[in-house]
Amino acid sequence: MDFTLSEQQTMFRDMVRDFAAREIAPLAAQMDREADMPEALIQKLREGGFFGLTFPEPLGGLGVDTTTYGLVVEELSAASAGVAVMICVHNSVGSYPIAMFGSDELKARVLPRMAAGEIAAFCVSEAGAGSDAAALTTAAARDGDHYVLTGSKMWVTNGSRARYYVVLARTPGSVGHDSVHAFLVERDAPGLCVAKKEDKMGLRCSDTCVVELDGVRIPAANLLGREGDGFKVAMKALDGGRIGIAFQALGIGRACLEASVRYAGQRIAFGEKLWHIPTVRDKFADMAARLHAARLTALHAAWLKDQGRPHTKEAAMAKLLATEAAGHVADEAIQIHGGFGYTKDYDVERYYRDVRVTRIYEGTSEIQRLVIARSVIKELG
Ligand code: CAA
């Protein structure tokens, strides 16, 4: 067993750490306050290749492996988790369904544009279909060489910035997983409308939207996979997506630990630095150990994916452990900062809000446990 990162992985991580410290971290508090992201920053991310991370080199991407992708997501997240989720969704659930299930023509036309920074989004959830993704009701009616999509999607990350949407919809009036289909829908399709941008607790610079589809006609060639494959397309995309969210949580958690150690090195109580107070030291130990255990699990899930091996259970474990560890670490970071941590003068206040959603989106902790338990019963039952 070799735990050493390759020279290329280390180089990538260090370059992104430097970029994030220079270009993203100084803007993070302002982006959070304004609930927006400057176009100039998005352009720098384009120029840095962040939108093409997981895309093959011949299509204009960087073709990095999942481990490198995870390390990049962690670095971005330590600076701004809102920026990180835009990159995550684009490089995983927003593009993977096209890369894996799109026709050759669709891939050749769309993937180079995505790699260059035309942003992608993933539309599965609806007001009545969150954890129970198969309950979605958006209709896809076949009409000759087209499908006509009608429905309303919620919690669409990149909703207002996207040029491309992967949309899950079903044969009207049908039930069951086999009547769900996946499609690529382009922003300029008549009838597609970004109806609302959510006013969120955290990740405020990322845009999370309601996307309405009102009789949107799309060519049948935009079907991803075959009719009825849609649910499995979404689940496979989420397997990879969840590894990214695990690394996102690890990045926020690491930022919390670093900020806490820095603060405790300056803060004097009972005549000494907090560093020397046993209860604070215990917190550091616990925070670091939890993050380390979760990071190893996430790296293992990424490695499995890169080996082309099954990773549904391990991705769910990585997301569960990393997001719960980071949630705990963010809570302890506030505790170490005391009243100061409860104010917007300190970054840990933002980290605490940002990390909360990682236990909700791309499958709640409860759903990760369900996925893990089903696998365990299948293996051992
Ligand atoms: N890979 C491949 N196939 C899979 C699969 C996977 N990971 N998971 C399930 N399937 C297959 C099953 O094998 C089954 O196939 P057969 O019918 O051929 O046997 C079929 O899909 C149905 O599977 P289940 O019976 O397990 O389906 P279910 O209805 O019980 O749901 C679930 C399973 C795990 C709960 C699923 O609904 C789920 O993951 N829910 C959470 C959804 C989610 O993560 N939403 C987040 C959306 S994105 C977001 O957050 C916003 C954003 O922009 C970031």
pLDDT, mean of residues 153-179: 97
pLDDT, mean of residues 293-308: 98
Q: CA end-to-end span of the chain, whole Å?
A: 29
Residue 2 lies in a domain: no
Report the nearest-CA residue for atom 16 of ligand 1.
Answer: 177
Residue 174 lies in a domain: yes
Calpha distance 290→327 (Å, rounded): 11
Of 120, 115, 122, the closest CA to residue 51 belongs to 115
Report the nearest-CA residue for atom 17 of ligand 1.
Answer: 177
What whole-number percentage of the chain has pLDDT above 90?
99
Judgement on whether residues 282 and 374 belong to the same structural domain of the protein: yes
Residue 1 lies in a domain: no
Name the pLDDT band for 75 (thresholds 50, 70, 90): very high
Of 79, 18, 80, the closest CA to residue 48 belongs to 18
Judgement on whether residues 131 and 268 belong to the same structural domain of the protein: no
Supply the range of the domain harboring residue 348. Answer: 232-380
CA distance to 100, 148, 282, 298, 299, per residue, from 302 (Å):
18, 37, 30, 6, 5
Of 260, 247, 318, the closest CA to residue 287 belongs to 260
Ligand 1 atom closest to Cα of 208?
53
Cβ of 155 closer than 6 Å to ligand 1, yes or no, is: yes
Calpha distance 155→232 (Å, rounded): 20
Ligand 1 atom closest to Cα of 124?
47
Cβ of 312 closer than 6 Å to ligand 1, yes or no, is: yes
Q: What are the residues facing 182 on neighbouring strands?
A: 168, 224
> Of 210, 226, 242, which residue constitutes the final position of a domain?
226
Cβ of 100 closer than 6 Å to ligand 1, yes or no, is: no
Give the 3-state secondary structure of residue 339: helix
Judgement on whether residues 140 and 46 belong to the same structural domain of the protein: no
Name the pLDDT band for 295 (thresholds 50, 70, 90): very high
Mean pLDDT of the chain: 98
Q: Distance, CA 372 to ligand 1 centroid (Å)?
A: 12
Q: Distance, CA 235 to ligand 1 centroid (Å)?
A: 4
Judgement on whether residues 124 and 87 belong to the same structural domain of the protein: no
Of 335 and 2, which is predicted with more confidence? 335
Cβ of 157 closer than 6 Å to ligand 1, yes or no, is: yes
Domain count, the chain: 3
Q: Do 299 and 317 meet the contact criterion of CB atoms below 8 Å apart?
A: no
| DSSP H/E element including 209 | strand 208-219
CA distance to 30, 75, 109, 117, 275, per residue, from 190 (Å):
35, 38, 20, 23, 60
Q: What is the pLDDT of residue 184?
A: 98
> Of 55, 85, 115, which residue constitutes the final position of a domain?
115
Residue 95 lies in a domain: yes
Judgement on whether residues 89 and 124 belong to the same structural domain of the protein: no
Judgement on whether residues 56 and 86 belong to the same structural domain of the protein: yes
Judgement on whether residues 72 and 125 belong to the same structural domain of the protein: no
Cβ of 372 closer than 6 Å to ligand 1, yes or no, is: no
Amino acid at 290: R
pLDDT, mean of residues 328-353: 98
pLDDT at 217 over 90: yes
Judgement on whether residues 236 and 363 belong to the same structural domain of the protein: yes
Name the pLDDT band for 214 (thresholds 50, 70, 90): very high
Residue 289 lies in a domain: yes
Name the pLDDT band for 246 (thresholds 50, 70, 90): very high
pLDDT at 1 over 90: no
The answer to whether residue 362 is catalytic is yes
**372 alpha-carbon distance from chain centroid:** 20
Give the 3-state secondary structure of residue 220: helix
Judgement on whether residues 66 and 90 belong to the same structural domain of the protein: yes
Ligand 1 atom closest to Cα of 238?
44
Q: Where are the alpha helices (DSSP H) in the chain?
A: 7-19, 25-34, 39-47, 66-79, 81-91, 96-101, 104-115, 230-266, 278-306, 312-337, 347-356, 365-380
Cβ of 124 closer than 6 Å to ligand 1, yes or no, is: yes
The CATH number that applies at residue 128 is: 2.40.110.10
Judgement on whether residues 105 and 17 belong to the same structural domain of the protein: yes
Rounded to 10 degrees, the C-alpha dihedral 232/197/217/133 comes to 20
Q: What is the pLDDT of residue 368?
A: 98
pLDDT at 242 over 90: yes
Strand 180-186 with 223-224, pairing? antiparallel
pLDDT at 80 over 90: yes
Ligand 1 atom closest to Cα of 155?
51
Q: Do 358 and 252 meet the contact criterion of CB atoms below 8 Å apart?
A: yes
> Ligand 1 pocket test: which of 156, 206, 235 has the largest number of ligand atoms within 8 Å of its C-beta?
235
Of 208, 118, 213, the closest CA to residue 163 belongs to 118
The CATH number that applies at residue 357 is: 1.20.140.10
Residue 372 lies in a domain: yes
Ligand 1 atom closest to Cα of 178?
17
> Ligand 1 pocket test: which of 232, 245, 312, 365 has the largest number of ligand atoms within 8 Å of its C-beta?
232
pLDDT at 299 over 90: yes
Cβ of 264 closer than 6 Å to ligand 1, yes or no, is: no
Name the pLDDT band for 122 (thresholds 50, 70, 90): very high
Cβ of 207 closer than 6 Å to ligand 1, yes or no, is: no
Judgement on whether residues 260 and 219 belong to the same structural domain of the protein: no
The CATH number that applies at residue 13 is: 1.10.540.10
Q: Distance, CA 314 to ligand 1 centroid (Å)?
A: 15
> Of 57, 89, 115, which residue constitutes the final position of a domain?
115
Residue 290 lies in a domain: yes
DSSP class of residue 222 equals: G
Task: Transcribe 82-149 into DSSP letters.
Answer: HHHHHHHHHHTTTTHHHHHHS-HHHHHHHHHHHHTT--EEEE--BTTBSSSGGG---EEEEETTEEEE
DSSP class of residue 175 equals: -
Cβ of 96 closer than 6 Å to ligand 1, yes or no, is: no
Calpha distance 25→18 (Å, rounded): 10
74, 118, 126, 362: the catalytic one is 362
Judgement on whether residues 215 and 279 belong to the same structural domain of the protein: no
